[in-house]
Amino acid sequence: MSTTSLLRLTSEEEALLAGEGGEAVRRAMQIVVTLGRIYDAERLLPVESVQVAGVSYRNLGDAGLEFLRDWAAQGARVTVPATLNPAGMDMRDWRRMGISDEFARRQDEIVRVYAAMGVWPTCTCTPYLVGNVPSFGAHLAWSESSAVCYANAVIGARSNREGGPGALAAAICGRTAAYGLHLDAGRVPTHRVRVRCEVRSPDDFGALGYWVGRQVGGGVPYFEGLDLPAVGAEPSHAMHPEAAVAGDVLKLLGAALASSGAVALYHVRDVTPEARALPDLCPDDVPVIDVDDLAPARAALNADADAIDLVVIGCPHASLAEMRRVAAGLRGRRLRTAFWLTTSRRVRDLAEAEGLVATVEEAGGLVISDSCVVIAPMSELPYRTVATNSAKLATYALGHAGLRARFGALELCLDAAVTGRWPA
């Protein structure tokens, strides 16, 4: 941080910072301005939308709930479209997850406080699948690392990885500080990744993201050698089916990059919008990473455990196409383990209309909306070893949820759910 601030505010922003818009806005401006000073921003930018994280009672606790109540009581209201990250439970069917009454009561209050501030209680990490679809080049203040990666890479919008309070502050004052990925300079690739092995299945993309994220940290990888159709900012239901599938695998790639590393933007040559617009986007003098084999990544993502007691699909939250694949794989089967398919409420409703939810439930599984294993109170639940096709979940399972993980293809996960053992 510079000792002298570079940040210049407009007269309107100065007035808001001085409290002319009320105490709630003053607090919001103070957070945004402080971040701007820390990161040497020269100005603030209006944001098109916000994704607010910090929702699970497991993470927020009573102190976090009090902080939100207090801000809401001061009159905090969002001034731009804002969506909400997952909560620690399914907001309607929490009892089926084994959540206690006490946790549910607190969790419900947190979501109500956000809703009272005007945040759309979507409770999903895939806001771009439920109507919060940014435009190309739009400035955002999104938290939730996988969503940030998707917005930056797949859509070509511009967001830093915001923390929960920073994102909520941006939603209240409608602004964020212009630094990092808001600027062209922050979006230039820092590593060239030459993919020289086959990367086809969704779990291949997750394994690749995990492997590269570990090596680039917070860099901006530029992938070459991935065979995918072009993607862009259309909502997935409006995309060509092939582009929607590409969107799904890029969602898994970005989630893994963001969890093993701190990646918030990547480019894929000839595929993602900024790489398509500028064929020579990647500088010649950046470090090169060659990926010849995904086996080491797969080995690192797998614990030494064969007995499975929970299978989780849908991290990030499943799209309708992913729900269809899962239902097709479960039709007519009977599950031995607990099985959670996590998704947004909106996608669940669409899946229910197609009979997909019934298929999963007839097999003995649960379709869980609004929530996520990593932020649910897993220590209160009887699960110890999870199988998943998500490299992000496999990366976080132990640290955040106290679970050991098995990682592999959807088909392997479904077989594990039927037999209770990870297929040899």
Query: Which of positions 364-403 make contact with ligand F3S (CB under 6 A)?
Result: 372, 374, 392-393, 396
Give the dihedral of Cα atoms 88, 368, 350, 418; nearest 10 deg. Answer: 150
Q: Is 180 among the residues that bind ligand F3S (CB under 6 A)?
A: no
Map residues 281-320 to x or -, x wherever contact with ligand F3S holds by CB under 6 A. Answer: ----------------------------------xxx---
Q: How far apart are CA 347 and CA 326, in angstroms?
A: 14
89 binds ligand F3S (CB under 6 A): no
Binding-site string for ligand F3S from residue 206 to residue 245, where x marks contact by CB under 6 A and - marks none: ----------------------------------------
Does the protein bind ligand F3S through residue 86 (CB under 6 A)?
A: yes
CB 85 within 8 A of CB 55: yes
Is 247 near ligand F3S (CB under 6 A)?
no
Question: CB 315 → ligand F3S: shortest distance, Å?
Answer: 3
Segment (H or E) for 325: helix 320-330
First CA to last CA across the chain, in angstroms? 52
Tokens in use for 261? 């590393």
CA neighbor of 371 nearest in space, from 55, 51, 86, 58 = 86
Q: Rounded CA gap, 67 and 71, in Å? A: 6
260 binds ligand F3S (CB under 6 A): no
Nearer to ligand F3S, 206 or 219 (CB): 206
Q: Give the residue with the Cβ less far from ligand F3S, 313 or 330.
A: 313
Distance (Å, whole) CA 180 – CA 167? 15
Of residues 177 and 252, the one with the C-beta less far from ligand F3S: 252
By CB under 6 A, name the one of 24, 125, 172, 405 that touches ligand F3S.
Answer: 125
> What whole-number distance in Å separates Cα of residue 316 and Cα of residue 390?
8
Q: Among 107, 122, 143, 146, indicate the residue that binds ligand F3S (CB under 6 A).
A: 146
* Closest to ligand F3S by CB, 94 or 179: 94
Per-residue binding string, ligand F3S, 317-336, x by CB under 6 A, is x-------------------
| Structure tokens, 421 | 């053992």
Residue-by-residue DSSP string for 261-291: S-----EETTTSHHHHH-TT-S-TTS-EEEE
Contact positions vs ligand F3S (CB under 6 A): 86, 125, 146, 255, 315-317, 342, 372, 374, 392-393, 396
